[in-house]
Chains A and B, each alone.
Chain A
Amino acid sequence: MKLDTSKLPNAASVTAKSSVTPDYCQPYRGTTVILAYDSEKVPTPPATMDELVEWMKANPGRFAYNTPGTGGAGDSFVRSSVYNFLPEEAFTSDDEKWIGEWDEGFAFLKSIHPYMYSSGGSIVYPNKNQGTLDLLNQGEIDMCPNWADMVLSQRASGAIRDSIKITQIQPSLTGSLQSMVIPTFGSNEDGAYAFMNFMLSPEAQEIMVRDMAAIPLVDSSNMDMTGYEDLQGLDVSNFRIQSIGGLSTSFNERWDNEIGSIG
């Protein structure tokens, strides 16, 4: 149902707006794909896609992204790479006309292919976000795209090394806002508003930082961000959103046929 913002006083401090049906969705946390890197091996991480490519070429075998279709980080990396060559509007469109425009992007992916992680004599794209994160943690690679929340919560729990840090490149990898909605068939509207309002309070936002390394949508300057300082650099207002809908299946199939099969 359409939200009555007068019942959500805390929403006033949230500037982030959902990219779809903003009148119905109240964003409460964000997360984004970033570049995760080992700060011991890479003291100054690349800041742009071009710098990243230069770094890959100077350090062959030390970068990996996961197979698209098995985890959002790989999806984000390949789609960002391809759509960097397309007009901005294409990234949120499922119009089939854009399929014809992918060639330049796929040629780019092919050009960086030889510099990716390899094992057993051939280039390998591991399955799942965790696949690349494990390689990074084991020191087999120095950099990979991954989810900010995933990297930071695993680092906080000690599952991965403290020297693993995150950074964003320009043009940025894609992120998303998670939103709450109220269904029309609900029975306790006031309760729903009360809960949503609570989720936007500094207190609840801090819990989400601690428990799920969420990027807070309210002012975090008064929050205890110990262990999650990296989040402060990520600004939800310039999140790059992607939604190519049904095109993603053709996209993944083309990647499998043209990139994954090179070996």
Chain B
Amino acid sequence: MMSKAFKQKLVAYGLVMPAFLVVMMTVAYPILSAVIQSFQDEKTGEFTLDNYLYFFTEPMQIRNILYTLFVVIMTVVIAIVVAYLLALYLRFVKSKIARAIGTLYLLPRFVPAMCAVYAMITIIRDSGLINRIGALFGLDIKLGLMYHASGMIVMNLWFNIPFAALMITAGLGAIPDSIIEGARDVGASKLKTFTSMILPLSIKDVVVASTFVFMSNVGSFTTPYLMGGNSPKMLGIALFDQFNKYMSYNRSAALSVIMFLICSVSAGVYIYTNLKENDWEKQ
């Protein structure tokens, strides 16, 4: 006869098991096998570091890594600054326009990525909407954004500003009006209120939003595939080349691990920020 506690344990494990197995088979196992593969020689299967060395010695691949970091960091910085300003506006300005923007700014999140990319291309390409409007006034506006880092950054902003603003707005919303009123009452200027009250209280959300934007852009594919140039390439495209075009599966695995490590720096920042308690919260 099984004890009651044992039965309860059995039920608990039984409930967890399906989810556990799915995660093991679709996440843990592929990661493990990719890591192993990344250290194997393509032909002999013997241990080698060549797959990694390739990405850190081949000038084109080094350029790809630096280029990806450039595009991603620019995206993070611009998206966060714009999103922070937007969030501040939405938090502290009470007007019909602010309320309307507050409802509308999330719309881009509901447009499928592919449609959004094509819509953006139609507008910014050298023969696009902006060029055609310019033509009405006898101007030949060629933005040169297509197949260029700047165009990709513009597209990334469309995806990431609403997302970052959503996170930061939630953070700012949690700051009670009383704190701000208190600061104002003791004579703090607007700037002082911002730098010593609002900014410190929302910086954690800013960091968290940054890490999310960073991670989601390191491996982006659709935007660079349709809007990026031939060289240098974003890592998502470089990975596609290794896997689909050259069929070097071991190098693909190594590049995947490299991308994983780049993201994990950001994940580390995220976890650190979440674990670190603010000084005044420690009691």
Q: How far is the CA of A260 from the CA of B246 in the complex (A)?
A: 15
> How close is B258's CB to chain A, nearest CB, in angstroms?
19
The reply on B126 being an interface residue by CB < 8 A is yes
Q: How far is the CA of A155 from the CA of B61 in the complex (A)?
A: 40
Interface residues of A (CB under 8 A from B): 67, 69, 119-127, 131, 138-140, 249, 252-253, 256-257, 260-263
Stretch of B8-16, B27-35, B139-147, B155-163 on the interface side:
B139-147
Task: Report which residue of B144, B147, B151 has the largest number of chain A beta carbons within 10 angstroms of its beta carbon.
Answer: B147
The reply on B274 being an interface residue by CB < 8 A is no
Inter-chain contacts of A122 with B (CB < 8 A): 147-148, 229
The reply on B230 being an interface residue by CB < 8 A is yes
Task: Report which residue of B126, B128, B151 has the largest number of chain A beta carbons within 10 angstroms of its beta carbon.
Answer: B126
Q: How far is the CA of A119 from the CA of B229 in the complex (A)?
A: 9
> How close is A109's CB to chain B, nearest CB, in angstroms?
13
> How close is A45's CB to chain B, nearest CB, in angstroms?
21
Given A127-B225, A252-B245, A253-B246, also A263-B231 (CB < 8 A):
yes
CB pair A140 B246 closer than 8 Å: no
CB pair A120 B229 closer than 8 Å: yes
CB pair A124 B230 closer than 8 Å: yes
Interface residues of B (CB under 8 A from A): 60, 125-128, 144-148, 150-151, 225-226, 229-231, 241, 244-247
Q: How far is the CA of A249 from the CA of B249 in the complex (A)?
A: 13
Inter-chain contacts of B247 with A (CB < 8 A): 249
Q: How far is the CA of A252 from the CA of B243 in the complex (A)?
A: 12
Given A138-B127, A261-B230, also A120-B147 (CB < 8 A):
yes
Inter-chain contacts of B245 with A (CB < 8 A): 69, 249, 252-253, 256
CB pair A260 B144 closer than 8 Å: no
Count contacts between A and B, CB distance < 8 Å.
Answer: 61
Given A138-B125, A140-B125, also A126-B147 (CB < 8 A):
yes
Inter-chain contacts of B128 with A (CB < 8 A): 138
CB pair B146 A119 closer than 8 Å: yes
CB pair A140 B147 closer than 8 Å: no
With A120-B145, A122-B148 already in contact, 15 other A-B pairs whose C-beta atoms are closer than 8 Å? A67-B230, A69-B245, A119-B148, A123-B230, A124-B147, A138-B125, A138-B127, A140-B127, A252-B245, A256-B230, A256-B245, A260-B230, A260-B231, A261-B230, A263-B231
Q: List 12 A-B contacts (CB under 8 A).
A: A119-B148, A119-B229, A120-B146, A121-B144, A122-B148, A122-B229, A253-B246, A257-B60, A260-B231, A261-B60, A261-B231, A263-B231
Inter-chain contacts of B127 with A (CB < 8 A): 138-140
Inter-chain contacts of B241 with A (CB < 8 A): 69, 256
For chain B, what secondary structure do more than half of its interface residues adopt (helix, strand, loop), or is it mixed?
A: loop
Task: Report which residue of B125, B145, B230 has the largest number of chain A beta carbons within 10 angstroms of its beta carbon.
Answer: B230
> How close is B246's CB to chain A, nearest CB, in angstroms?
5
Inter-chain contacts of A261 with B (CB < 8 A): 60, 230-231
Q: How far is the CA of A263 from the CA of B125 in the complex (A)?
A: 19
Inter-chain contacts of A252 with B (CB < 8 A): 245-246
Q: Which of B145, B150, B151, B230 contacts A263 (CB 8 A)?
A: B230
Inter-chain contacts of B146 with A (CB < 8 A): 119-120, 124
Q: How far is the CA of A260 from the CA of B147 in the complex (A)?
A: 13
Inter-chain contacts of A138 with B (CB < 8 A): 125, 127-128
Q: How far is the CA of A138 from the CA of B146 in the complex (A)?
A: 13
> How close is B114's CB to chain A, nearest CB, in angstroms?
13
CB pair A125 B148 closer than 8 Å: no
> How close is A105's CB to chain B, nearest CB, in angstroms?
19
Residue of B nearest to A141 (CB): B127
Inter-chain contacts of B126 with A (CB < 8 A): 119, 140
Residue of B nearest to A69 (CB): B245
> How close is A232's CB to chain B, nearest CB, in angstroms?
32
> How close is A68's CB to chain B, nearest CB, in angstroms?
8
> How close is B210's CB to chain A, nearest CB, in angstroms?
27
Inter-chain contacts of B60 with A (CB < 8 A): 257, 261
CB pair A127 B148 closer than 8 Å: no
Inter-chain contacts of A256 with B (CB < 8 A): 230-231, 241, 245
Q: How far is the CA of A121 from the CA of B151 in the complex (A)?
A: 13
> How close is A224's CB to chain B, nearest CB, in angstroms?
35
Inter-chain contacts of B246 with A (CB < 8 A): 249, 252-253
Q: How far is the CA of A252 from the CA of B230 in the complex (A)?
A: 13
